[in-house]
Every structure is written in structure tokens, then in C-alpha cells.
Amino acid sequence: MLGDDGKLPTTNYKLLAAATAIVLLGAGNVFAQDARAWPAMENLRRGPGYYLSLGKILACWFVFFAWIFSTDQINRDCQEMKLNCARLNPIVFGPFMAAFVLVWLIPYFWLGFPLLVVAYVGPLVGYVLHRNAQVPDNERVFTKEHLRYWFSVHLGKIGVKVAAEAPDPHTKGPPVSVRARGGADEREDQSRTIAARQLPALRTARAVIADGLFCRASAIMLDYTQQAVAVRYLVDGVWHTLEAIDRDSGDPALEALKVLCGLNPQDRQGWQEGFFAADYRQDEYAGTLTSQGTKTGERVLIQFEEKAIRMTTLDEIGMREKIQERLKELLNLKSGFVLFSAMPAAGLRTTVNVALHQTDRLTREFMAVEEQDNRFEEIENISVTTYNAAEGQSPADILPKVFRMEPNVVVIRDLVNAETVNMLCKQVKENLLFISTQRAKDGAEALLRVMALGVPPGNFAKLPSAVIGQRLVRKLCEKCKEAYAPTAQVLQQLGIPEGRVQAFYRPPQQPEEMCEHCSGIGYVGRTAVFELLTVGDNVRNVLATSPKLDPLRRAARKDGMRSLQEEGVLLVAKGVTSLPELMRVLKQ
């Protein structure tokens, strides 16, 4: 039954079980007719009539099928661990089969049955001891940690809680537990989790993660140098430097995290990526770990998938009422081109989704064009047509098909080439409204970036109706922000009449104790600052004749645009954010 490589196929175990069952059923039929035909079977009979003892047979069958299961697992594990299958499989297989035959021949059940149990347990224990001696400590099985985790997982599936009776060490200390994810299957994830939890340094790694989540960090950066490990947290888009960790603690912690993520702990130079999950304060976080060697050591980035905060109104994203009214008018146009712009990671997707939710999608037909590997949130009553960029396709390849369906509004999330924009220029007067996005610092730059794709200035100048630009600023902590009186000079520079604003706000300068609400940072969450560039004659003339950034910004001001700085000053005056925070964001 062994293969040429000494491995026993799983199918053979199943065939063996079926064949044995048939033999036992046949034997039972013979014994039921005349149990005296085989005197040795008297150990299985009970009472007059020589009936077979069902209880004894079931006991033997229970051990037999337990052996089938465990031997199958040993065979698989032996292959995965690259152990000597040709030697180990016969040791596990042979003794039990011999004892299984003897149990029916020995005339005393209470002698044959213990022999069967010993023949099952003995090779199993021997294999475990041999296996654990050949593998690293974190891959050993039937250890205290391995059994505790196995029971917690499998009993947890049926609603049985074991934590109170057998507390897990990984739940002690830092208030976060971690487990593997992203493996080929659940078994691989469990194996990696068990391996990592057997490493004492995982506690240090958990402490770093717990501190980061406590501070609301969306990412943790670990920079390994010869002297120490620099630690930084990304909170609300800003990096904060924390106290460094010594290498004696940082190296084992990273090893534990790499084992958890299924990476190679010995590789400190190559690029690696793995995944894990963290449970913190009854919330679950999906984590991604990437590592890359540097000139001074290694850089490790731990990113957490931020919990989705669903926003459905323009008020929730911080848009002023007057800009809201104008935006709704623009989105109700029969024809035109409305462009949304923002810097990377500045909430552009959220703003577009919220704006689309505010449109009339019942009386007008909306269609969206998206790249099939970069899909966006589905919005009711907006049908989506996709293209495959990997095969060289662009929106231009499917727009003719979309136009033939005669929609009222077409949403093109990404303008990737001049051909796409030129098609929009030709269709803009056909009672068709286009909505799209562009990464840029402000509205003027967004228009120039679209033109930079290679669109003729004269054609493009007729296309845009408006650009909505935005930046994200941190909001002051309402629990600890402090008021101060701005100087007359500052008010003058900001264009605020003297006496109009009595106080600005800022984070506490000398706090007596750390604010638990913001973890001592002074800011909690972010909001958007919007500018609305309505394209008028001045802007169109610049686009057609001298499309440069500064002239375009001056033309936008002439057409009535309020800059990001002016809009941000309103948030400062209302105490939503601080003046230094606004200046930081505008300088990006």
C-alpha cells in the first residue's frame, strides 16, 4: 500500500476501512448462525445463544476509526515536515493491523482490547516525540499551548467557551490578541498562529500593536538600525515618533510577527508581505505586514485596514452649505463635466460616493466605467461597465458601447489617456453629463493634469464645468482643546476683520495629564476642506491660450473661486481645527 516514496495515500486508508467493515459484517453473519464454528470468538459472546457482544465490537471499531483518522493525519504531516515517510509509515501502520487481527483471535477480550489500544497509542506517541525532536519549538504539537489553542478553536465553533477554565497566555499582558490570516486554508492559518504563540517575543510584538491601536494608528513603522528600532505611528495622516526599542527585544518580536504572517524570519533583506488579524477592544482589525531591507537594516510597515465609516451626506464630510447647494446644481446639469480632485489618501473616493448618493438616480439613468481590478463601492441605480487594463484596455474601448445605451450621466473614475478625454470632448454637447476624478493639489492643478494627457487645449477648454478640490485636516479634540486670543496681525493676514473672532483653538500646550480621548495628541479624526472652482470665461481663456498653473489660479479667483486657504480659515475660526494644522496641510 506504500508508494514508491514511502508515502501512504489517503485513499488507501479509506479503502482499508471499507474492506475491514465488510469483513467484520461477514464474520458477524457467520457467527450469528453458529458461534461455535470459531471457539476463539467466545470472548465476544454474551449469554446463551452465542450472540456477538455489540458493545465490544463497537469499542474495537471506535479505536479502529480513531486510528484511521490519526494515521491519515500522521501521513500528511510526515509529508509536510519532510520526515522519513518510508520508515515512519510502516511503524505506525504495522503494529496496529497486527493487533487488530489478534483481538479477534485471543479468547479473552480484556487481554486483546488493551493490546489493541497499546498498538494504537504507542506508535502515535512515538511519532509525536520523534517529530517534535526534528522540528523547531514553535512547530511542535501536543504541547500545552498547542492543545489549548486547538480546544479553543474547535469548541468555539459550537459555542463552547473555554477561556474561563483554561485562560490563554496570549490574552494576558497587552490587551490585543493576534492570529494568522491569508493562508492557503484555515489549517495553515491555525498552524502559523500556534507557531507564533509559542514564541515568547510575540508578547513584545503585541505590546507594539496594542499601543498603536490605542493611539488610533492606521500604520506602524519599525526602522531597524544597528543600534535600536525606531517606532512611529501614523495617526490621522501624521507620523508620530515614539520611544525606540532595543534590538534585543525588537528582533525576536519581528521574528514572531513574520512567523505569524507566514514569512521567512531569516530573510532581513528581501521584500516580504504577509497578513494577520488583531482583536482589540471587541473590534477586529485586518493587518498587513511588509518588510524590506535597507542600507542601515530593515524597514517594517504594519498597516491596519481602517474600519469603514459610512458617510452618506455632504454634511458628514464637512462640506459647507453654500458649496453643497452649488454642487447639487452642477450634478443636476443636463450636460457638462464635473471633476473631483484630491491628493492621494485624502478621501477622494468617499467624497465622490457621497456626492453620487445626493444625485437623482431615479429619473435619470447613470452608468459608471471602472477598471475590473479596481472596483468602487456599488451605488444603487448606477450600472457599471468594466474594462481590463491588464489586457491593454482603457475607458475609451468601452465608451462607444456606453454611449449607444444613451445614459444621462456617465461616471468615469479614472482618466487614463488622451483618447478617453477626447471622446468626452466630442460628446459633452450631447445632453450628457460626465463625472470623473483626478489626483491633484487643487482644482487648477487637476485641470492641467487632465490636459497633460495630451488633449488639445482648444478642445479641452470647452469641456469642464467645475472642479471640486479638497484636503483633509485633523479636528481638534473637543475634550482638551484650549482657547487663545489671536493677535491683530494674524487676523489681518488671514483676512478676518478685527473683533469678528474672539478666540482660536489649539491643542493644550502644557497639559497636567494625558487626555484619554485623543491619547495626548490633541486631535481626533479628520474633516475635509473644499474649494469649488466653477469654470467661467476667464478659466476657459487661460486653458485655451496659456494653460499654466499661476495664471489659471488667478483666473479661477476672477471667476469667483474661494481658495482652500480661505475655506480652511473658516474652520479655524469655528474652532474645528487649529491654524498650525491648516498651515501644515496647505504646505503639502
Residue 2 has a pLDDT of 42
The residue ranking higher by pLDDT, 244 or 89, is: 244
The H or E element spanning position 435 is strand 433-439
Residue at which a domain ends, from 277, 304, 331: 304
- Give the pLDDT confidence score for residue 231 in this predicted structure: 95
Mind listing the pLDDT tens digit for each residue in 372-404?
Answer: 888 888 888 899 999 998 888 999 999 999 998
Contact 86, 5 (CB under 8 A): yes
Phi, psi for residue 49 in degrees, rounded to 5: 100, -10
Query: Would 150 be classed as within a structural domain?
Result: no
Element (H, E) at 340: strand 336-342
3-state secondary structure string across 158-214 = CCCCCCCCCCCHHHCCCCEEEEECCCCCHHHHHHHHHHHHCCCCHHHHHHHHHHHHH
490 and 555 belong to one structural domain: yes
Is residue 394 assigned to a domain? yes
The pLDDT tens digits of the residues spanning 125-179 come to 888 888 777 765 556 777 766 666 556 555 544 454 444 333 445 556 788 899 9
pLDDT of residue 413: 87
Residue 112 sits in the same domain as residue 230:
no
**Residue pair 215/233 in contact by the 8 Å Cβ criterion:** yes
CATH number for 454: 3.40.50.300
pLDDT at 3: 45
Between residues 14 and 588, the one the model is more confident about: 588
Per-residue pLDDT for 220 more than 90?
Answer: yes
Q: Is the pLDDT of residue 323 over 80?
A: yes
Reply yes or no on whether the pLDDT at 417 is more than 60.
yes
Residues 463 and 566 occupy one common structural domain: yes
Tell me what pLDDT residue 516 has: 85
Mapping DSSP to helix (H, G, I), strand (E, B) and coil, where does residue 462 land? coil
* Residues 227, 325 share a domain: no
Looking at 109-123, 138-152, 182-196, 311-325, which range is the least confident one? 138-152
Give the model's pLDDT for residue 152. Answer: 55
The pLDDT, as a whole number, for residue 157 is 47
Report pLDDT for 538: 93
What range does the domain containing 273 cover?
Answer: 166-304
Last residue of a domain, one of 254, 270, 304: 304
* Mean pLDDT of all residues in 39-43: 48
Q: Does a structural domain hold residue 148?
A: no
Same domain, 179 and 328: no
Q: What is the pLDDT of residue 578?
A: 93
Give the SS3 label for residue 448. helix
Q: For residue 310, is it within any domain?
A: no
Is 191 found in the same domain as 47? no
Mean pLDDT of 214-225: 93
In a domain? residue 32: yes
Residues 375 and 296 in one domain: no
pLDDT at residue 49, rounded to an integer: 43
Report yes or no: 89 and 8 within 8 Å, Cβ to Cβ.
Answer: yes
Give, as one character, the DSSP assignment of residue 288. Answer: E
What is the pLDDT at residue 145? 63
The predicted structure's pLDDT at residue 33: 38
Q: What is the arithmetic mean of pLDDT over 429-453?
A: 90
Q: Kindly state the helix (H) or strand (E) to which residue 558 belongs, with its residue range.
A: helix 549-558
The region that residue 179 occupies, defined by phi over 0 for left and psi between -120 and 50 for alpha, beta otherwise, is: beta
Tens of pLDDT, residue by residue over 339-370, are 999 998 888 999 999 999 988 888 999 999 99
Predicted local distance difference test score (pLDDT) of residue 378: 87
Mean pLDDT of the chain: 82
552 and 428 part of one domain: yes
Across the range 551-570, mean pLDDT stands at: 91
Q: Whose CA is closest to 551, among 410, 433, 405, 444?
A: 444
Task: Identify the residue with better confidence: 12 or 54.
Answer: 54
Give the DSSP per-residue string, 213-234.
HHTT-SEEEEEE-SSEEEEEEE
Confidence of residue 40 (pLDDT cuts 50, 70, 90): very low
For residues 540-568, average pLDDT: 90
Summarize the confidence of residues 83-101 as an average pLDDT.
80
Residues 262 and 348 in one domain: no
Does some domain include residue 3? no
Grid look-up 467645475 returns 466
Per-residue model confidence (pLDDT) at position 11: 43
pLDDT at 100 over 60: yes
Task: Give residue 538's identity as a one-letter amino acid code.
Answer: N
pLDDT of residue 585: 92
Whole-number Å distance between alpha carbons of 114 and 117: 5
Residues 412 and 538 occupy one common structural domain: yes
CATH code, 195: 3.30.450.90
Would residue 396 count as lying in a domain? yes
DSSP conformational letter for 276:
E
What does the pLDDT read at residue 162? Answer: 43
- 249 has pLDDT over 70: yes
Does 557 fall in a domain?
yes
Is the domain of 352 the same as that of 245? no
- What residues have CB less than 8 Å from 544, skipping those under 6 apart? 457, 458, 461
Shared domain for 202 and 326, answered yes or no, is no
Per-residue confidence (pLDDT) for residue 5, from 0 to 100: 46
Predicted confidence (pLDDT) per residue in 151-165, tens digit: 655 554 445 444 433
Confidence of residue 509 (pLDDT cuts 50, 70, 90): confident
Number of separate domains in the chain: 3
The domain boundary, picked from 89, 120, 135, lies at 135
> 76 or 277, which is more confident?
277
Q: Please write the tens of the pLDDT for every residue from 108-122.
A: 777 778 888 888 888
